[in-house]
Structure 1
Amino acid sequence: MSNKRIALTTGDDDGIGFEVTAKALHKLGPQKGVQFFLWRNDNASAKYLKLIDQKFKRIVVDDLEEALKVEGNYLVDICSDQSPAHWVEATAKACMKKQLDGMATAPLSKTLIKDAGLKDLGHTDILKRLSKTKTVHMGFAGSEFNVVLATGHLAISQVSKHISFSTIAEALLNADLLRKSLPTSKRSKPIGVLGLNPHSGEQGMIGGEELMVFPNLAAFAKEKKIPYEGPLVPDAAFFKENWKKYSVYLCLYHDQGLIPFKMIHGQDSGVHISLGIPFVRTSVDHGTAKDIFGKNKANPNSMIDAIRWSINLTRQQA
């Protein structure tokens, strides 16, 4: 059986991406049946390269084309003068061509993407554009619970306009993809779908979105054989006693899901998973943290989790 080939992009040159990736690789060490491809710039810290070399046989190349020719038990180090935004593009294209099996990404600033000449707002938009995928949902896997966002980076004033049966049904399908990737004990639990309004609308007395969506959603979930419960009351859904009741929480807007997720898991753990694209992409669940760049303070736990999830998901797709 051939190795799973997973690319690691390290993000902004002046962010913590390379630090957390190097620390994660040192912690994980070589993985059976996996070949890593590491994107970084030529100013990457020699200290962290030495950390990687304690565990891996590393071979340095200039670009992805050369990297893909490397066989054997090597970590392929792509020392590139391209923008990190273009690393993501090149990796996604290689995943589409089945030259790579998946990718795990460190944080990439929107400013850097713009400076690279791209119009995309983030990783997700780059991946949507290249894969020609209409709908991609952000999933977040944590040690205590998992979250999928039905809508993305929308202003609060715009959220209600985007809540419809079709929007939530598409999100439920992708939440089910995450559910099916979970361990058996968790996979058997239903997906908990949150309401939008306080008290989930109180039967239309506090907003009508729930009445518009959920009656049809129940029939849709039954047809697709997706176990689900909802609408859950948003201010009670994340009580600790509820964490084990659901495989995934499907939340209707960004902060509804990410405030509780980050409150419980912190900014240095948890994994972001792109749901809906035709290849595996995982990511850290934190930003570039440029304020601690070069200070050796960055916690690698989220990148460790992102790499582990990337390996497991690519193996599940075999």
Structure 2
Amino acid sequence: MSNKRIALTTGDDDGIGFEVTAKALHKIGPQKGVQFFLWRNDNASAKYLKLIDQKFTRITVDDLDEGLKIEGPYLVDICSDLSPAHWVEISAKACMKKNLDGMATAPLSKTLIKDSGFKDLGHTDILKRVSKTKTAHMGFAGSEFNVVLATGHLPVSQITKHISFSTVAEGLLSADLLRRALPKAQQSKPIGVLGLNPHAGEEGMIGKEEQMVFPNLISFAKEKKIPVTGPLVPDAAFFKENWKKFSVYLCLYHDQGLIPFKMVHGQDSGVHITLGIPFIRTSVDHGTAKDIFGKNKANPNSMIDAIRWAINLTRQQA
């Protein structure tokens, strides 16, 4: 069986991406049937390169095309003078061509993406553009619970305009992708779908969105054989005693899901999975943390999770 080829992009030059990636690789070590392609710039810390070299035999190349010619038990080290945003785009295109099987990404600032000449607002938009995917969803897998967002980076004033049966149904299909990737014990549990309004609308007395969406959503889920429960009351859904009742929480907007997820899992654990695109992409669940760049303080746990999830998901595709 051929190796699974996974790209690792290390994000902003002055962020913690290379540090956490190096520490993660040192922790994980070589994996049977997996070849890593590590993107970094020529200013990458020699200390962290030495950390990688303790576990891997590293071959340095100038670009991905050259790296793809290398076979064997080697880590392909791509020392690139391109913008880190281009690393993501090039890796995604290689995934579309089946030259790579997946990618795990370190944090990338929206400012850097803009300065690279891209109109994309983040990783997800780059991946959607490259794959020509209309709808992709952000999923977050954690040790305590898992979350999928039905909508993305919307201003609060725009949220209700985007909540419809079709939007939530598309989110449910992505949540089901994550559910089916979980261990069997978790797969059997329903997806918990949150309501939008306080008290989940209180039968229409505090907003009508739940009444417009959920009757059709329950029928849709039954037709698709997706186990589902909802609408859940938003301010009670994330009580600790509820965490193990659901395989995945489907949240209707960004902060509804990410505030509780990050409160419980912190900034140093959990993994972001892009759902709905035709290849595997995982990511850390934290930002560039430029305030601790170069201080050797970055916790690699989220990158460890991201790489392990990328490996497992690509293997599931075998």
Instruction: Tell me the TM-score normalised to structure 1 length.
Output: 1.00
**Aligned residue number for residue 70 of structure 2:** 70
Match of 1:79? 79
- Matched residue, 1:229: 229
Q: Give the equivalent residue in structure 2 for 1:267.
A: 267
Q: Which residue of 2 aligns with 1:250?
A: 250
Letter of the 2:103 counterpart: M
| Equivalent residue number for residue 34 of structure 1 | 34
Shift of 1:198: 0.3
Whether 1:132 aligns to 2:132 is yes
Amino acid at match of 1:41: N
Q: Tell me whether 1:21 sits opposite 2:5 in the alignment.
A: no
Partners in 2 of 1:303 and 1:189 — Cα distance? Answer: 27
* Secondary structure of the structure 2 residue equivalent to 1:226: coil
Residue 167 of structure 1: CA displacement?
0.3
Per-residue deviation, residues 275-294 of structure 1 (Å, max 9, x unmatched): 00000000000000000000
Aligned position for 2:114:
114
Structure 1, residues 176-224: CA drift from partner, whole Å, max 9, x if none? Answer: 0000000000111000000000000000000000000000001100000
* Distance apart, 1:67 and its partner CA: 0.4
Q: After the TM superposition, which residues 1-318 of structure 1 pair with which residues of structure 2 at under 5 Å, given as runs? A: 1-318=1-318
Cα shift at 1:48: 0.1
SS in 1 for 2:226: coil
Shift of 1:24: 0.1
Q: Secondary structure at the match of 2:236?
A: coil
Output the CA distance in 1 between the equivalents of 2:14 and 2:50: 19
1:287 maps to a residue whose letter is G
Q: Which residue identity does 1:88 align to in structure 2?
A: V
Deviations 1:29-62 (A, max 9, x none): 0001100000000000000000000000000000
The share of aligned pairs that are identical, in percent, is 87
Alpha-carbon distance in structure 2 between the residues aligned to 1:114 and 1:215: 41
Aligned length, in residue pairs: 318
Shift of 1:169: 0.3
In 2, the alpha carbon distance for the partners of 1:207 and 1:114 equals 38
Cα distance in 2 for partners of 1:190, 1:125 equals: 29
CA-based RMSD of the aligned residues comes to 0.3
3-state SS in 2 of match to 1:236: helix
Give structure 1 stretches of 5+ with no counterpart.
none
Q: Aligned partners of 1:258, 1:145: CA distance in 2, in Å?
A: 12
3-state SS of the aligned residue for 2:148? strand
- For 1:40, the aligned partner's letter is R
Task: Provide runs of 4+ in structure 1 moved above 4 Å.
Answer: none
Q: Could you tell me how far apart the structure 2 residues matched to 1:145 and 1:113 are?
A: 31
Amino acid at match of 1:166: S
CA distance in 2, matches of 1:308, 1:187: 19
Aligned equivalents of 1:105 and 1:295: distance in 2?
21
Deviation for aligned residue 1:92: 0.2
AA aligned to 1:300 is P
For residue 149 of structure 1, what is the amino acid of its counterpart?
L
Post-superposition offset of 1:14: 0.2
State the 1:147 CA deviation.
0.1
| 1:79-115 deviations in Å (ceiling 9; x for gaps) | 0000000000000000000000000000000111111
Three-state SS of the structure 2 residue aligned to 1:272 is strand
Whole-angstrom distance in 2 between the partners of 1:263 and 1:273: 18
- Equivalent AA in structure 2 for residue 184 of structure 1: K
Question: Structure 2 unaligned runs (5+)?
Answer: none
Rounded to whole Å, the distance in 1 between the matches of 2:154 and 2:117 is 23
Secondary structure (helix, strand or coil) at the match of 1:22 reads: helix
CA distance, structure 2, for counterparts of residue 190 and residue 33 of structure 1: 33
